[in-house]
């Protein structure tokens, strides 16, 4: 054994050579098709669309067009819809999917603060093929449908049930007065978890709209404003809706509910609003429901000086507010924003990327804070609601990349050599390993106020703190120098056991699988 350090007799066990892969796509994926999951390619999607959920998958193709990659590069998209459901009062969430997927989604949802259990309907190959899984789901929602506890039950198909054609649309619309909402959120059909939020929010709003059209509905618990209201679309810092409300007050307008909603009645109130502000621009299905209700949508957001001025003008125009009242609203807030921006100038170059959908407005705010932002990447698609922000950023010299991949974000940040890279977890890891400064967008950037005067100064302390401590990353890199990387990381007594023969075998398998997948695509 030479200098190899051993702790048991595992090294003496006979090695099993891997079987040679065939040129069959079925063999690569697993003979029983059990390996089909969220990382399915476009060929698989085309094949899977020939089932009972074909219409749903075709709709997703139109609503959520893929970019250069056809699989999620972040967390499972279903996390987005799960997050929406778990935040709502008196709403139960049930998942239908592989046990490993359900475990991962349950874990991450509770990591992000969910305080309720997640329901699960298990299955095996037999119940999936015979249709017993659908019967089990139906029985489960019947058992749960107690109006004393719930206003609605959300059932979510993950990859395998959607691919197998489990028809959630055949569930009853209501049981004992409890609404039953079935959605499909497969990783091969929904590119990002942000768009999965839209799937559930849109499905709920569609249900609520039909209830409104059918007759009188309950008033929201918060009451109804005596002024025309503007619904707000997109998750944001808790104080931002109140800031928006104060901006609207001089125009005799009020801020309506925020969607995704926190309780069912808020959706009635949202539909009762005169217009909707698409703070996050990717809510395609949700805005379709507002369109059906005759409610116009307003893009961009009141961020920074120019952004706030333009947004207030757009709101005033949609509501038919006089120029005098628009000027009054602008005069009430713009001087304070201007002063805050002046007092909180930040110098440096920053690249911005993420998958939350608010990347463009964050980049706008950074630009107005004095930051050079040469690149903005978002995993979300280009929509009409994002055009104004994209054009503004491009006019400032930024390259705006929709449906940006991780490779796009890393390449841009490496080429532009920013003082700070803001992005997703793998991007942050990539740059910290090189001793460069990086911030995780979701937890550190999007969890801050963006609107009005509060937003103008919200990044000063965070960004300056990082930029002024750039030497810290280099010192950390120096501290960990020599510990290796990847499979050779750690402190070794002697040389790492690289096992190049196993690497070669595995590489051959990967190459053969790639050839087979390419051949299947051509077929």
Domains by residue range for the chain, with CATH: 54-191 (3.40.50.1980), 229-339 (3.40.50.1980), 345-479 (3.40.50.1980)
**How far is residue 130's CA from residue 285's CA, in Å, rounded to a whole number?**
32
Residue 219's pLDDT is: 83
Terminal CA-CA length for the chain? 49
What ranges in 147-283 are assigned the alpha helix state H? 159-164, 193-214, 240-248, 265-271
DSSP string covering 14-32: PPPPPPPPPS-HHHHH-TT
Q: Which two tokens stand for residue 429?
A: 């890891």
Q: What is the dihedral of CA 25, 30, 34, 35, to 10 degrees?
A: -70
The residues, ordered by sequence, that sit 6+ positions from 166 with a Cβ below 8 Å of its Cβ are: 52, 53, 96, 128, 133, 134, 137, 157
Q: In what order do the strands lie in the sheet with 119-120?
A: 119-120, 91-96, 152-157, 178-184, 174-175
Mode of pairing for the β-strands spanning 375-378 and 350-354: parallel
Q: Which two tokens stand for residue 358?
A: 């608010």
**How far is residue 134's CA from residue 82's CA, in Å, rounded to a whole number?**
20
Residue 464's pLDDT is: 84
Q: Under DSSP, is residue 405 helix (H, G, I), strand (E, B) or coil?
A: coil
Residue 44's pLDDT is: 54
Q: Which two tokens stand for residue 448?
A: 């801050």
Q: Which two tokens stand for residue 188?
A: 């091969």
Per residue of the chain (523 residues), give pLDDT as tens. Answer: 445 444 445 445 444 444 443 333 333 233 344 444 455 555 455 545 567 788 888 899 899 988 777 667 777 899 999 999 999 999 999 999 999 999 999 988 887 777 788 999 999 888 988 889 999 999 999 999 999 999 999 999 999 999 889 999 999 999 999 999 999 999 888 999 999 999 999 999 999 999 999 988 888 877 778 899 999 999 989 999 999 999 999 999 999 999 999 999 999 999 999 999 999 999 999 999 999 999 999 999 999 999 999 999 999 999 999 999 999 999 999 999 999 999 888 889 999 999 999 999 999 999 999 999 999 999 999 999 999 999 999 999 999 999 999 999 999 999 999 999 999 999 998 888 888 889 999 888 888 899 999 888 888 888 888 887 767 777 777 776 767 676 777 777 777 777 777 778 888 888 888 888 878 777 6
Residue 439 per-residue DSSP state: E
Q: What is the dihedral of CA 156, 160, 163, 168, to 10 degrees?
A: -30
Are the CB atoms for 133 and 166 separated by under 8 Å? yes
The residues, ordered by sequence, that sit 6+ positions from 236 with a Cβ below 8 Å of its Cβ are: 258, 279, 358, 450, 451
Residue 30's pLDDT is: 36
Radius of gyration of the chain (CA): 26
**How far is residue 438's CA from residue 428's CA, in Å, rounded to a whole number?**
5
What are the contacts of 502-506 at 24+ separation with CB within 8 A? 505/17, 505/18, 506/18
**How far is residue 115's CA from residue 339's CA, in Å, rounded to a whole number?**
41
Residue 11's pLDDT is: 47
DSSP string covering 380-402: SPP-GGGHHHHHHHHHTT-EEEE
The residues, ordered by sequence, that sit 6+ positions from 285 with a Cβ below 8 Å of its Cβ are: 63, 198, 199, 201, 202, 203, 206
């Amino acid at each position: 054994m030479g200098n190899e350090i051993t702790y048991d007799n595992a090294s003496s066990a006979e090695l099993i050579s891997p079987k040679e892969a065939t040129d069959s796509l079925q063999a690569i994926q697993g003979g029983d098709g059990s390996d089909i999951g969220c990382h399915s390619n476009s060929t698989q999607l085309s094949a899977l669309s020939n089932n009972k959920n074909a219409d749903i998958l075709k709709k997703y193709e139109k609503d959520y067009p893929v970019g250069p990659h056809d699989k999620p590069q972040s967390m499972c998209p279903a996390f987005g819809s799960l997050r929406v459901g778990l935040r709502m009062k008196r709403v139960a969430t049930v998942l239908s999917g592989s046990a490993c997927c359900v475990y991962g989604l349950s874990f991450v949802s509770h990591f992000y603060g969910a305080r309720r259990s997640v329901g699960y309907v298990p299955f095996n190959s037999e119940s999936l093929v015979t249709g017993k899984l659908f019967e089990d789901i139906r029985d489960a929602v019947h058992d749960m449908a107690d109006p004393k506890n719930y206003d609605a039950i959300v059932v979510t198909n993950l990859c395998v049930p959607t691919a197998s054609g489990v028809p959630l649309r055949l569930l009853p619309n209501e049981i004992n007065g409890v609404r039953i909402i079935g959605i499909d959120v497969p990783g091969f059909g929904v590119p990002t978890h942000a768009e999965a939020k839209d799937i559930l929010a849109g499905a709920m709003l569609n249900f609520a709209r039909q209830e409104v059209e059918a007759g009188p509905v309950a008033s929201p618990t918060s009451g109804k404003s005596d002024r025309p209201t503007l619904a707000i679309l997109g998750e944001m810092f808790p104080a931002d809706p109140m800031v928006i409300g104060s901006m609207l007050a001089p125009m005799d307008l009020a801020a309506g509910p925020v969607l995704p909603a926190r309780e069912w009645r808020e959706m009635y109130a949202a539909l009762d609003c005169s217009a909707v502000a698409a703070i996050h621009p990717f809510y395609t299905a949700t805005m379709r429901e507002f369109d059906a209700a005759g409610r116009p949508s307003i893009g961009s957001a009141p961020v920074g000086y120019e952004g706030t001025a333009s947004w207030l003008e757009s709101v005033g125009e949609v509501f038919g507010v006089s120029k005098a009242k628009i000027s009054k609203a602008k005069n009430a807030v713009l001087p304070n924003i201007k002063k805050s921006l002046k007092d909180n100038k930040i110098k440096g170059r920053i690249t911005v990327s993420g998958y939350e959908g608010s990347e463009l407005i964050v980049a706008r705010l950074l630009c107005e804070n004095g930051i050079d932002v040469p690149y903005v990447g978002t995993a979300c698609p280009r929509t009409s609601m994002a055009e104004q922000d994209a054009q503004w950023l491009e006019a400032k010299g930024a390259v705006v990349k929709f449906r940006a991949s991780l490779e796009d974000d890393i390449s841009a940040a490496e080429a532009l050599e920013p003082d700070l890279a803001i992005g997703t977890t793998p991007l942050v890891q990539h740059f910290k390993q090189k001793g460069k400064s990086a911030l995780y967008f979701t937890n550190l950037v999007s969890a801050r106020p963006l609107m009005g005067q509060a937003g103008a100064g919200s990044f000063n302390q965070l960004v300056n703190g990082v930029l002024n401590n750039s030497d810290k990353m280099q010192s950390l890199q120096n501290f960990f120098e020599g510990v290796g990387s990847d499979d050779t990381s750690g402190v070794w007594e002697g040389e790492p056991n690289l096992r190049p023969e196993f690497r070669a075998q595995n590489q051959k398998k990967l190459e053969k699988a790639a050839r087979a997948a390419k051949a299947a695509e051509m077929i």
